[in-house]
Amino acid sequence: MMYEVKLNVFEGPLDLLLYLIRKNEVDIYDIPISEITEQYVEYINLMEMLDLDIAGEFLVMAATLLQMKSAAMLPAGTTAESEELMMTREELVRQLLEYRKFKNAAVVLSQKEESRRNLYSRSFAEPGFQDFDLKEFKLDATLFDLLSAFRTVLKAMPEDQLDGLREETVTVQQKIGEILFRFKSRKRVEFTSLFSAACSRLEIIVTFLAILELVRTRHIIARQSSLFSRIWLYKKEPRT
């Protein structure tokens, strides 16, 4: 890939696991390892296909899940090895519970901060962003929400377009300019609409990398009205 997006400000491997657990609506105490592992690896492969600068912890977690999946497929036994793997599963659940508690506490603190800010200001919007219906679309979309939406776009594209890679000169910087231009006539842009004119897999990938870079640099924010709902993008406006 010709462009690398640094993900140091995005989520980590436990965030991806919690995301998949919520999306599949499963009990954190009874994780379907086989199903979750397949989806986890699919997201890892997607990030690697995009040539994203992912942390090594993602690969360590993937290896752990694959080991647990392999163990779950073996006949039930009481060997030292199976007991050791069971401890690994219990440790994973413990880590997820602790991390979820930490994340929930962070959300509560953020809400208290927002509430205190509103004592002095009627504006809901983050400084520099349009406040058009941000109250309705108040959930920040995570990296994994964006990846999931990108996956849907990629799967919806006809196979002949996906396979027909031709020489193109489109760059991430060009796509960034095109995306920002879309905001000149509107206050928000729906995520999937940015891919409607894409003619190849390469153009889809470059468009998505441009979106990631704009989100990372806080030039735009990605919002949802509820978990796993449509993603809307809002552009940061210069302060007056």
- The mean pLDDT of the chain is 78
Same domain assignment for residues 131 and 114: no
pLDDT at site 2: 45
Long-range Cβ contact pairs of 213-220 (< 8 A, separation 24 or more): 213/3, 213/5, 213/172, 213/176, 214/176, 214/179, 214/180, 215/146, 216/5, 216/6, 216/7, 216/9, 216/10, 219/180, 220/179, 220/183
Number of domain units in the chain = 2
Same domain assignment for residues 127 and 77: no
pLDDT digits (tens, 9 = 90+) for 52-108: 777 678 888 898 898 888 877 777 654 545 555 555 788 889 999 998 888 777 666
Same domain assignment for residues 3 and 116: yes
Q: pTM to 2 decimals?
A: 0.75
pLDDT digits (tens, 9 = 90+) for 133-186: 555 556 788 889 999 999 999 888 776 655 544 555 788 999 999 999 999 888
Same domain assignment for residues 166 and 238: yes
Same domain assignment for residues 160 and 202: yes
Residue 119 predicted with pLDDT over 70: no
Q: How far is CA 209 from the centre of its chain?
A: 12
Residue 223 predicted with pLDDT over 80: yes
- Domain span at residue 217 reads 123-240
CATH number assigned to the domain comprising residue 162: 1.10.10.580
pLDDT at site 97: 92
Residue of 40 and 239 predicted with greater confidence: 40
